[in-house]
Amino acid sequence: MAAISSVLDEQIEQPVMQAPPADVVTLPCGLMVPGEAVITTAQVRELTGLAEEAIARAATSSGRGERALAALLEHGVVKLGRLEATDKLLNQLTIGDRDCLVLEIRRMTYGDTIEYERWVCPECQGEFELSVSLDDIPVVTSDEPGKNTLTVPLRKGRTATVRMATGADQDAISQTKAKTGAEIDTELLMRTVMSVTDVNGNEHSTVGNRQAVREQMSMADRASILKAIRKQRPGPRLDEVKVTCPDCGESKEITVTLDALFQS
């Protein structure tokens, strides 16, 4: 029997798991599209001079930050799942998935390392060059691919059903007249808070209802929802990148910005 097993082991090739191609990205949240399986991957590519020109033009327009980001994704994302990456689909992606794509487009274009020529430690005021790897950026992944809602506890025994913000939300908010942080928060909440359930279990629709989130929702409840959106959404944590000062040894968190990602 031992001899037979030895011969069989030699004749049967063991399957080898192939790593996904370098240009294929796994989305932290994923996108549910009618008639399709949940989209959990995307194909990205290196940005060219054509993309650079388009991003620069977009950066000079109204809502320039969001327009520049949209142009970057338009030129850098080839497919979502098996579907062509149209503007419509890209706008349906959650902010976390879009941030993930931005990081991988950056990796394809410039490599894994972000170089800061001058970083000042907030503790000792020491100045030095700083290198940050894209792999040092924490990423939260959803346990339920495609699910883009969360339940947030509110005061007085109530709960809110909240949809994660998407590219379409970003773009719409950038085009409003909202100027203060509180006004921007109202625009976001109006678009993403789907309903509030009272202590008796009665659900009240709030989506699109400015009065509900502006005049009927307490500051404490608004703060709880905004915190949940920020902390619970799947995606890269661009504002939680840890670096250590070589002079004083203190560890600090920095925010990796779009400008820092695409500086040459």
pLDDT tens by residue, 203-243: 999 999 999 999 999 999 999 999 999 999 999 999 999 99
pLDDT for 9: 53
Q: Cα dist. 146→20, 82, 171, 201, 249 in Å?
A: 20, 16, 21, 26, 41
Pairwise CA distance, residues 115 & 129, whole Å: 7
Domain range annotation of the chain: 24-140+236-261, 149-233
Tens digits of residue pLDDT in 111-131: 999 999 988 898 899 898 889
What's the pLDDT score for residue 188? 96
Indicate if the pLDDT at residue 17 is higher than 50.
no
Query: Is pLDDT at 63 greater than 90 in this prediction?
Result: no
Name the pLDDT band for 264 (thresholds 50, 70, 90): low
- How far apart CA 82 and CA 228 sit, in angstroms, is 32
Asked if residue 72 has pLDDT above 90, the reply is: yes
Query: Distance (Å, rounded) from C-alpha 161 to C-alpha 150?
Result: 6
Alpha helix positions (H), the chain: 2-11, 49-58, 64-76, 87-92, 95-110, 167-174, 181-192, 210-211, 219-232, 258-261
Residue found under tokens 């989506």: 207
Amino acid, single-letter form, for residue 240: E
Q: Tell me: pLDDT of 7 over 60.
A: no
Tell me the C-alpha distance between 75 and 262, whole Å: 14
Q: Would the pLDDT of 6 be above 70?
A: no
Share of the chain above pLDDT 90, in %: 70
Residues 148-172 have a mean pLDDT of 95
What number is the average pLDDT over the span 196-202? 95
Q: Residue 2 — pLDDT band, cuts 50, 70, 90?
A: low
**Stronger pLDDT, 67 or 226, i.e. the higher one:** 226
pLDDT in tens, 131-157: 999 999 999 999 999 999 999 999 999
Radius of gyration for the alpha carbons in the chain, expressed in angstroms and rounded: 23
Q: For residue 74, with 0-12 CB atoms within 10 Å meaning exposed, 13-18 middle and 19 or more buried, which class applies?
A: middle
pLDDT of residue 262: 87
pLDDT at 4: 52
3-state SS track over 45-105: CCCCHHHHHHHHHHCCCCCHHHHHHHHHHHHHEEEECCEECCHHHHHHCEHHHHHHHHHHH
Query: Is the entire prediction scored with pTM above 0.85?
Result: yes
Residue pLDDT, tens place only, 220-229: 999 999 999 9
Q: State the chain's mean pLDDT as an integer.
A: 89
